[in-house]
Amino acid sequence: MIMTNYGFVTVAAAVPHVRVADCFYNIRKMEGLMRQAAEKRVQLMAFPELCITAYTCLDLFAQQTLLDSAEKALLTLVGNTADVDIFTVAGLPLSTGDGLMNAAVAFQKGEILGVVPKSYIPNCKEYQEQRWFTGGGELSGKTVALGGRNYPAGSGLLFRDGHVTVGVEICEDLWTPVPPSSLLAMRGANVILNLSASNELIGKHSYRRSLVSQQSARCIAGYVYAMAGFGESSTDLVFAGGGMIAENGRILEESPRFVMEEQLAVSEIDIAALENDRRVNRSFMRGASLLPADETREIPFRLPAYPGAFALTRAVDPHPFTPQGAALNERCEEIFNIQVAGLATRLVHTQARTAIIGISGGLDSTLALLVATLAFDALKIPRSQIQGITMPGFGTTGRTYRNATSLIRSLGVTFRDIPIGKACLQHFEDIGHDPSVQDITYENTQARERTQILMDIANRENGLVVGTGDLSELALGWTTYNGDHMSMYGVNAGIPKTLVRSLVEWVARYKVEGEASRTLLDIADTPVSPELIPAGAEDAILQKTEEIVGPYELHDFFLYHFLRFGATPAKIYFLAQHAFAGVYDGATIKRWMRVFFLRFFAQQFKRSCLPDGPKVGSVSLSPRGDWRMPSDASVALWIKEVDGLDQ
């Protein structure tokens, strides 16, 4: 079955006003929120725990009057919302032959679909629920009577429509070592709805938030958490309300706590991305195979289908490799540690006496040099044993050459300057190439000459050539085969261009001072270029990479969603329009996406023989451990989809 809405399902966590023990007041508030949710095109919705009666009824839960009212109110709510297509779960106390259940009832379009009891009943100082309720494990039958009809009941119910499978758990269930949601997820649930009534204590919300985030990650699922709020009794406890929506470890939406208004937290869960992660996570799938088959029961339902175009409300990061704010500092520190550890280990293993790096004055070689200096510092080897080699050619500009020499000297690295012009002209003569013809032979001769110099110096001095090429260049094949494509250890192989720039700027601002800082900032501000054709008037860089292959921020976006989630071109295009609204129009995005797929498929042969290099993030193109693709795979399917996109 092909997924609609690009694989997204719209969900909501609702927090209504309640009055303790006033069931019909409560369902009026719930109905109002359901209708608001329908206007927002919500498809799945969770209310808080015991919301029909309110959670804080205490010994009133033993009163038949309250229990009868709760059941009647539920049936009234179900009937009154028969015209609302949302799959909804609401909480109430439900009397059965086994005792009193703290239950979640799933319903849609005037029909009750099933009943899920709370599995774990707390009996702590704050929550003495065992005084009134029995756990789901004590439910002897597989059905529960409501309004004279029997409905499926149990903690293992799964509500399924095509690619979307919903599981339900209640508050305390999440706080246990093995929550029901873990078992439900391994049986196929990719959206978990949690009906909660968790009170506020100092520091508790941070822990609760972490639980929601981590459980969504462990389950590779979406997680919708609705928490009891205003109107609950404040006799001993305070309930602050709020809803959280998480997806695979990321909080997508969170409504504020301690507000007096009703709340509706709405976002979209990417079912397609979750399915992709589950397909490739064999540990997760193996866990599913170990569960007894009779632990769960599937109940079909139908996701609402709203007319008109699908609109996304969740944020889409245009720079998914590069976090913002304080997270960027932490990310940069960790990346450098990974790169440094990888290079240091290789230096020790090979017993290399020196590191050989070609320095162009561009971003990639700058980052490689910074990594090398930190690795030598960690190994307590003088930086002077690193050789930073400039190799000016036909396209080298004064700006990049000055930055290269300044950086090498300011970092205390041994400087060597080896111009390649004469060697390249000799080579042109040897192979019969007219140097006035500035074609691919003209360009690649320079790249291969530089690599030959580095390799030969490394051989002569028992050194190790540190590669400079980054992940974005490898994805696009923007590298000369057996030229800058090759090294003895590629420290930047796992880092996309947008992140390279951020790393260089981070070092400039936080790790160095004076001349080194000024040089790094100027390097970060220099247009990306291979500098393989002569400069223009006033030493201007004419060969600008992003004018040839497209903006790296777009290509990094395409690469992330294509590799990380297996997204289709149509979905990537949809997300890119959302992420880059006001920056690139649809025609521009489509144009460069076409270039991306053409180059990505055509250039696989270069990635099939990459040198070793450290994996840094979740996206890697190493042919040994991450991306294994035939070099002659056809791109036709992807290009056909790109060409069919509406602008």
Nearest of 9, 33, 11 to residue 229 by alpha carbon? 33
Element (H, E) at 473: helix 471-476
Residue 607 and residue 628: Cα distance in Å, rounded? 9
- C-alpha 556/C-alpha 639 separation (Å) is 18
Nearest to 53 by CA among 30, 37, 69: 69
Length of the chain: 647
DSSP 316: -
Which of 507, 214, 567, 149 has the alpha carbon at shortest distance from 363?
Answer: 507
Query: Strand locations in 545-605, DSSP E?
Result: none
What pairs with residue 267 in β-bridges? 11
> Are the C-beta atoms of residues 262 and 4 closer than 8 Å to each other?
no
Coil, strand, or helix at residue 422?
helix
Helical H segments across 111-248, by residue range = 180-186, 204-218
How many whole angstroms separate alpha carbon 611 and alpha carbon 14? Answer: 52
Give the C-alpha separation, 272 to 288, whole Å: 19
Answer yes or no: are the C-beta atoms of 45 and 81 closer than 8 Å. no
Indicate which residues carry an active-site annotation.
49, 118, 171
Phi, psi of 89 (to 5 degrees): -125, 130
Task: Classify the C-alpha dihedral 518-524-527-529 as positive or negative.
Answer: positive
Give the span between the Cα atoms of 233 and 181, in whole angstroms. Answer: 29
Instruction: Work out the burial of residue 293: count CB atoms within 10 Å of its CB; fewer than 13 is exposed, 13-18 middle, 19 or more buried.
Output: exposed
Determine the residue type at 47: F
Q: What φ, ψ does residue 115 adopt, rounded to 5°?
A: -125, 130
- H helical segments located in 197-325: 204-218, 271-280, 282-289
Please tell me the number of Cα atoms within 13 Å of 245 on its side-chain side: 24
